[in-house]
């Protein structure tokens, strides 16, 4: 039996919706992208959502919108995908990594220690789909003492008057805190619709705008539409209107718009997303039931009295296990034709970042999580037989490895 890691849920409904777009005469940003954005915003209960070609683009666009530049610092967890840090580097600013907790998420206490007069943005990451402790993070950025440290360098920064919370919600579309969905939990949240994510458009992402007064999210959305399309004051569809050919470039913008082909996949994915979440939750529950009786198994958190995950990953940790033993367990899984993964190799470990002087030694919990973590297959079409095969093989691999 072969078990893949996270293939997308593709079927005739998706094929039909994509074919409808392909044959409609309009394949780039147009009516389906706009419809997808409206439905996403309604799902998350936020004023506006802008769909783009990736989460990475969305994060960078929002850093630039906030005026993040050289000399500025952005706080983010050491335990994330490289994109979260790379976009900070793109803007010329300094990524300031902080350690995470047992739930894999950024530690508010560590955020507080890392803040100084150069701090402009905090980028929490909802690891595996589990939302961060946003109440704590909000109370940090809104406390008088921290607000007094904030130095505004742009109009937008003056308007906010504090550190921006730009949430990397790449994993957590559909997750909740006190029944409020991600997107509506911070100033700005960015979702990923990459092929391995819960809801996919092949490549894709979206910015959820939820900025407080006095910001007008609609006018920010209108501006971002232009900023993510060359700085051109008319999009391709508007230019198509009879005689409406003339346009202006109001600034040197970026090019990271979503196409209607991508949006048509997303429309089908969104319509059945409740069913997707239900199935993922069931798979997680099966894993939990199978592993909870083993003393070596440290089960991930998915739900508590205040938050619920989007069940994006199943990141099990093996207790009292070295990195070498973890790798050996993974090899046994690969030998059994089961695809497993590690989420994540902490960013400060990568050569680009070590050359800049970062070191994993400063993030002991990120190191510990990384060394003992294995992500198991979790996807809509995983069959019960496949899941049982994964469970049996993991138990066998752990027993053999930790005994020997």
Ligand X SMILES: *Cc1c(COP(=O)(O)O)cnc(C)c1O
- Residue 187 contacts by C-beta under 8 Å, 6 or more apart in sequence? 160, 164, 165, 166, 210, 211, 212
Q: String of b and e for 307-322 (b: at least 16 CB within 10 Å)? A: bbbbbbbbbbbbeebe
Question: Rule CB under 6 A: is residue 84 a binding residue for ligand X?
Answer: yes
Structure tokens at 2: 């072969």
Tell me the residue length of the chain: 404
Q: Quick one: which of 66, 78, 167 has its CA closest to 114?
A: 78
Q: Quick one: which of 85, 68, 67 has its CA closest to 76?
A: 85
Residue 311 beta carbon to ligand X: minimum distance, rounded to whole angstroms: 14
Residue 29 beta carbon to ligand X: minimum distance, rounded to whole angstroms: 17
Question: Rule CB under 6 A: is residue 168 a binding residue for ligand X?
Answer: yes
Task: Single out the residue of 32, 162, 181, 194 in contact with ligand X (rule: CB under 6 A).
Answer: 194
- Cα distances (angstroms) measured from residue 40 to each of 45, 58, 193, 207: 8, 15, 12, 10
Question: Rule CB under 6 A: is residue 326 a binding residue for ligand X?
Answer: no
Residue 379 beta carbon to ligand X: minimum distance, rounded to whole angstroms: 15
Residue with tokens 């990736």: 54
Residue 164 beta carbon to ligand X: minimum distance, rounded to whole angstroms: 17
Question: Rule CB under 6 A: is residue 83 a binding residue for ligand X?
Answer: yes
Question: Rule CB under 6 A: is residue 171 a binding residue for ligand X?
Answer: yes
Residue 1 beta carbon to ligand X: minimum distance, rounded to whole angstroms: 28
Degrees, nearest 5: CA angle 139-143-148:
145
Question: Rule CB under 6 A: is residue 33 a binding residue for ligand X?
Answer: no
Question: Rule CB under 6 A: is residue 81 a binding residue for ligand X?
Answer: yes
What DSSP designation does 209 have? E
Question: Rule CB under 6 A: is residue 56 a binding residue for ligand X?
Answer: yes
- Residue 235 contacts by C-beta under 8 Å, 6 or more apart in sequence? 29, 225, 229, 257
Q: How far apart are CA 401 and CA 325, in angstroms?
A: 6
Q: How many residues bind ligand X (CB under 6 A)?
A: 14
Binding mask 355-384 for ligand X (x = CB under 6 A): ------------------------------
Stretch that binds ligand X, among 9-17, 36-44, 164-172, 392-400 (CB under 6 A): 164-172
Structure tokens at 210: 């939820």
Task: Single out the residue of 21, 33, 48, 80 in contact with ligand X (rule: CB under 6 A).
Answer: 80
Q: How far apart are CA 9 and CA 54, in angstroms?
A: 19
DSSP assignments along 266-315, one per residue? HHHHHHTHHHHHHHHHHHHHHHHHHHTT-TTEEPPP-B-SSEE------E
Task: Single out the residue of 6, 55, 160, 330 in contact with ligand X (rule: CB under 6 A).
Answer: 55
Q: How far apart are CA 26 and CA 199, in angstroms?
A: 23
Binding mask 122-141 for ligand X (x = CB under 6 A): ---x----------------
Binding mask 200-229 for ligand X (x = CB under 6 A): -----x------------------------
Distance of CA 191 to the CA centre of its chain: 5
Stretch that binds ligand X, among 165-173, 210-218, 222-230, 278-286 (CB under 6 A): 165-173
Stretch that binds ligand X, among 81-89, 90-98, 225-233, 245-253 (CB under 6 A): 81-89
Task: Single out the residue of 93, 100, 160, 170 in contact with ligand X (rule: CB under 6 A).
Answer: 170
Question: Rule CB under 6 A: is residue 192 a binding residue for ligand X?
Answer: yes
Question: Rule CB under 6 A: is residue 315 a binding residue for ligand X?
Answer: no
**Interacting residues with ligand X (CB under 6 A):** 54-56, 80-81, 83-84, 125, 168, 170-171, 192, 194, 205
């Amino acid at each position: 039996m072969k078990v893949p890691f996270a293939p997308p849920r593709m079927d005739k409904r998706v094929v039909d919706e994509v074919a409808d777009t392909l044959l409609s005469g309009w394949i780039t940003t147009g009516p389906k992208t706009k419809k997808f954005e409206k439905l996403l915003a309604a799902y998350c209960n936020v004023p506006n959502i802008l769909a783009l070609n990736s989460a990475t683009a969305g994060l960078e666009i929002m850093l630039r919108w906030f005026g993040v530049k050289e000399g500025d610092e952005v706080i983010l967890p050491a335990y994330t995908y490289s994109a979260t840090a790379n976009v900070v580097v793109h803007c010329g600013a300094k990524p300031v990594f902080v350690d995470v907790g047992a739930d894999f998420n950024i530690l508010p206490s560590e955020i507080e220690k890392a803040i100084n007069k150069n701090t402009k943005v905090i980028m929490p990451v909802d690891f595996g789909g589990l939302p961060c402790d946003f109440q704590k993070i909000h109370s940090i950025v809104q406390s008088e003492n921290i607000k007094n440290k904030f130095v505004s360098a742009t109009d937008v920064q003056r308007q906010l008057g504090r550190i921006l919370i730009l949430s990397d919600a790449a994993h957590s579309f559909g997750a909740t805190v006190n029944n409020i969905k991600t997107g509506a939990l911070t100033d700005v949240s960015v979702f990923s619709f990459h092929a391995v994510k819960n809801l996919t458009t092949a490549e894709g992402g979206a910015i959820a705008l939820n900025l407080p007064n006095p910001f007008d999210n609609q006018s920010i959305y209108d501006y971002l539409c232009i900023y993510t399309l060359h700085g051109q004051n008319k999009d391709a569809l508007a230019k198509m209107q009879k005689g409406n050919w003339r346009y202006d470039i109001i600034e040197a913008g970026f090019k990271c718009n979503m196409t209607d082909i991508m949006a048509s996949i997303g429309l089908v994915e969104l319509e059945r997303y409740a069913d997707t979440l239900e199935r993922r939750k069931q798979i997680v529950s099966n894993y939990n039931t199978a592993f909870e009786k083993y003393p070596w198994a440290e089960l991930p958190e998915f739900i508590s009295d205040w938050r619920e995950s989007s069940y994006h990953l199943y990141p099990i940790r093996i207790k009292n296990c070295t990195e070498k033993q973890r790798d050996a367990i993974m090899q046994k899984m690969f030998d059994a034709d089961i695809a497993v993964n590690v989420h994540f190799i902490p960013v400060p470990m990568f050569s680009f970042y070590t050359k800049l002087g970062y070191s994993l030694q400063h993030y002991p919990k990120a190191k510990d999580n990384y060394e003992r973590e294995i992500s198991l297959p979790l996807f809509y079409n995983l069959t019960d037989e496949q899941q049982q095969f994964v469970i049996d093989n993991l138990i066998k691999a752990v027993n053999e490895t930790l005994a020997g």
